[in-house]
Structure 1
Amino acid sequence: MKRVIIPALMLLSMSAGAQTFENKFTRPLSDVLNDVSARFGIRLKYNVDTTGLKLAYADFRVRPYSLEETLSNILSPFDFKAVKQNDKLYKIKPYEYPRRQPEDGQKMISWLTSLYSNKTEWEARRDTLRKEVRERLGIDKLLPLCSKEKPEYSKIRKFDGYTVQNFRLKTANGHTVCGSIYAPMSKGKHPLIICPNGHFSNGRYGKVQQLRLGTLARMGAICVDYDLWGWGESADEVGSKAHQTPEAHVMQALNGIRILDWMIQRKDVDTKRIGVNGGSGGGTQTVLLTVLDDRFTAANPVVSVSSWFDGGCPCESGMPIQLAGGGTCNAELAAMFAPKPMMLVSDGGDWTSTTPELEYPYLQRIYGFYGATDKVSNIHLPKERHDFGDNKRNAVYKFFIDTFKLDASKLDESKVTIEDENALRFTPKK
Structure 2
Amino acid sequence: MRFWHITIVALIVASVAAGQEYGQPDRDMPGDEMIQKYLARQTQKIHDRFMKDVESAEDWEKLRPRYKDEYFHMLGLWPMPAKTPLKATVTGMLKRDGYVVDMLHYQSRPRLYVTANLYRPAKVKEGEHLPAVLYVCGHSPRGRNGNKTAYQSHGIWFARHGYISLVLDTLQMGEIAAIHHGTYREGRWWWHSRGYTSAGVECLNGIRGIDYLISRPDVDPERIAVTGISGGGAATFWIAAADERVAVAVPVSGMADL
- TM-score (norm: length of structure 1): 0.44
Instruction: Report what 1:117 is aligned to.
Output: 55
Deviation at 1:217, TM superposition (A): 1.4
Instruction: Report what 1:143 is aligned to.
Output: 81
Instruction: Report what 1:296 is aligned to.
Output: 246
Change (3 A) 1:281 1:118: same
Asked whether the equivalents of residues 231 and 243 of structure 1 are also in contact (C-alpha less than 8 Å), the reply is: no
Unaligned runs of 5+ residues in structure 1 are 1-72, 82-93, 308-329, 331-430
Instruction: Report what 2:148 is aligned to.
Output: 204
Instruction: Report what 1:217 is aligned to.
Output: 159
Deviation at 1:242, TM superposition (A): 5.0
How far apart in 1 are the matches of 2:86 and 2:141?
32
User: 200, 208, 229: which is aligned to 1:258?
Assistant: 208
Deviation at 1:182, TM superposition (A): 0.8
1:103-114 map, 5 Å: 108=47, 111-112=49-50, 114=52
How far apart in 2 are the matches of 1:201 and 1:75?
42
1:174-253 map, 5 Å: 174-187=111-124, 188-200=128-140, 202=142, 203-206=147-150, 209-235=151-177, 240-244=178-182, 246-253=196-203
Q: Write the deviation string for residues 43-95 of structure 1: whole angstroms up to 9, x where unpaired.
A: xxxxxxxxxxxxxxxxxxxxxxxxxxxxxx699644349xxxxxxxxxxxx94
Instruction: Report what 1:171 is aligned to.
Output: 108
How far apart in 2 are the matches of 1:142 and 1:190?
29
CA RMSD, 1 decimal: 3.1
How far apart in 1 are the matches of 2:58 and 2:253?
30
Change (3 A) 1:229 1:219: same
Unaligned runs of 5+ residues in structure 2 are 1-25, 183-190
| Equivalent AA in structure 2 for residue 305 of structure 1 | M
Asked whether the equivalents of residues 228 and 234 of structure 1 are also in contact (C-alpha less than 8 Å), the reply is: no
Deviation at 1:216, TM superposition (A): 1.4
Change (3 A) 1:129 1:141: closer
Q: Write the deviation string for residues 103-124 of structure 1: whole angstroms up to 9, x where unpaired.
A: x99x94x754644222122333
User: 130, 155, 158: which is aligned to 2:68?
Assistant: 130
Change (3 A) 1:96 1:285: farther
SS in 1 for 2:139: coil
Deviation at 1:223, TM superposition (A): 0.8
How far apart in 2 are the matches of 1:191 and 1:265?
13
SS in 1 for 2:179: helix
Change (3 A) 1:174 1:127: same
Change (3 A) 1:283 1:125: farther
How far apart in 1 are the matches of 2:49 and 2:197?
31
Change (3 A) 1:74 1:193: farther
How far apart in 1 are the matches of 2:203 and 2:105?
16
Asked whether the equivalents of residues 230 and 243 of structure 1 are also in contact (C-alpha less than 8 Å), the reply is: no
Asked whether the equivalents of residues 275 and 298 of structure 1 are also in contact (C-alpha less than 8 Å), the reply is: yes
| Equivalent AA in structure 1 for residue 172 of structure 2 | G
Change (3 A) 1:152 1:122: same
| Equivalent AA in structure 1 for residue 54 of structure 2 | Y
Instruction: Report what 2:11 is aligned to.
Output: none
Larger Rg: 1
Asked whether the equivalents of residues 92 and 104 of structure 2 are also in contact (C-alpha less than 8 Å), the reply is: no
Q: How many residues align?
A: 212
How far apart in 2 are the matches of 1:176 and 1:194?
17
Deviation at 1:276, TM superposition (A): 0.5
Change (3 A) 1:95 1:211: farther
| Equivalent AA in structure 2 for residue 250 of structure 1 | G
Instruction: Report what 1:282 is aligned to.
Output: 232
1:30-429 map, 5 Å: 77-80=30-33, 95=36, 108=47, 111-112=49-50, 114-141=52-79, 143-144=81-82, 146-187=83-124, 188-200=128-140, 202=142, 203-206=147-150, 209-235=151-177, 240-244=178-182, 246-307=196-257, 330=258
Deviation at 1:292, TM superposition (A): 1.6
Change (3 A) 1:262 1:204: same
Asked whether the equivalents of residues 79 and 95 of structure 1 are also in contact (C-alpha less than 8 Å), the reply is: yes
Asked whether the equivalents of residues 162 and 183 of structure 1 are also in contact (C-alpha less than 8 Å), the reply is: yes
Change (3 A) 1:211 1:287: same
Change (3 A) 1:261 1:76: farther
Deviation at 1:137, TM superposition (A): 2.6
